[in-house]
């Protein structure tokens, strides 16, 4: 896959993650109670999370094809595919965050190329968001909802995970932009 194909994928993924982060901030700033989500707002959030996750995995798949340890990379991609499926339960940040962190960490371990660092940051992004959510819930951040939960902590976690993912995608885009397109090498002629 050439960089002219990968870079638009990264751009659309970044827009989707920007919407996810915006939804997290909306939860913290606008409502904070968790009871204000209507089906349209939640649908926008869930679809953006699914699209952003899927396109991020596709971009990582495309740039990591030169990894030295293909088995580790394949396992990491399979785990990330499971992460994309787990985003169907969009509100379960600890679930999909853990799955993505493991998958991206495996992919980062599969190679030593320049794309390794942005993929390692992608592994850290959901963990940082999940940590923020857990700390926010433990400290009872924001008003409690009808179930006694503190949904503002989820909003903070989503915003942090999205922000770190955006930085990681920017780094991945710069890595792709600095490299040559992944085109097959021309065949060598046997004649002198």
For the stretch 113-124, pLDDT in tens is: 888 899 999 999
Q: What is the pLDDT of residue 33?
A: 55
Residue 40 predicted with pLDDT over 70 = yes
**Residue 86, both tokens:** 């787990």
pLDDT of 3 > 90? The answer is no
Query: H or E segment at 90?
Result: none
In this prediction the pTM is 0.84
Please report, for residues 146, 162, 192, the alpha-carbon distance to residue 96 in angstroms, rounded to integers and kept in the order given. 24, 13, 56
pLDDT in tens, 121-145: 999 999 999 999 899 888 888 777 7
Average pLDDT over every residue of 69-89 = 92
Tokens of 16: 């989707």
Gap between the Cα atoms of 35 and 20, Å rounded: 18
pLDDT for residue 188 is more than 60? no
CA 97 to chain centre: 9
How high does pLDDT run on average in the chain? Answer: 84
**pLDDT level of residue 34 (50, 70, 90 thresholds):** low
């Amino acid at each position: 896959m050439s960089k002219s194909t990968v870079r638009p994928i990264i751009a659309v993924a970044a827009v989707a993650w920007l919407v996810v982060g915006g939804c997290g901030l909306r939860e913290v700033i606008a409502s904070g109670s968790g009871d204000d989500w209507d089906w349209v707002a939640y649908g926008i959030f869930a679809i953006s999370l699914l699209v952003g996750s899927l396109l991020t995995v596709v971009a990582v798949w495309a740039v990591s094809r030169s990894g030295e340890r293909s088995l580790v990379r394949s396992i990491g991609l399979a785990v990330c595919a499971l992460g994309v499926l787990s985003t169907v339960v969009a509100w379960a940040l600890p679930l999909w965050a853990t799955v993505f962190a493991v998958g991206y960490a495996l992919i980062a371990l599969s190679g030593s190329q320049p794309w390794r660092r942005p993929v390692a940051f992608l592994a850290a992004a959901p963990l940082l968001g999940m940590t923020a959510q857990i700390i926010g819930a433990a400290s009872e951040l924001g008003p409690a909802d009808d179930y006694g939960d503190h949904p503002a902590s989820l909003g903070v976690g989503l915003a942090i995970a999205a922000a770190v993912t955006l930085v990681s995608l920017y780094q991945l885009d710069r890595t792709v932009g600095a490299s040559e397109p992944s085109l097959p090498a021309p065949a060598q002629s046997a004649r002198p």
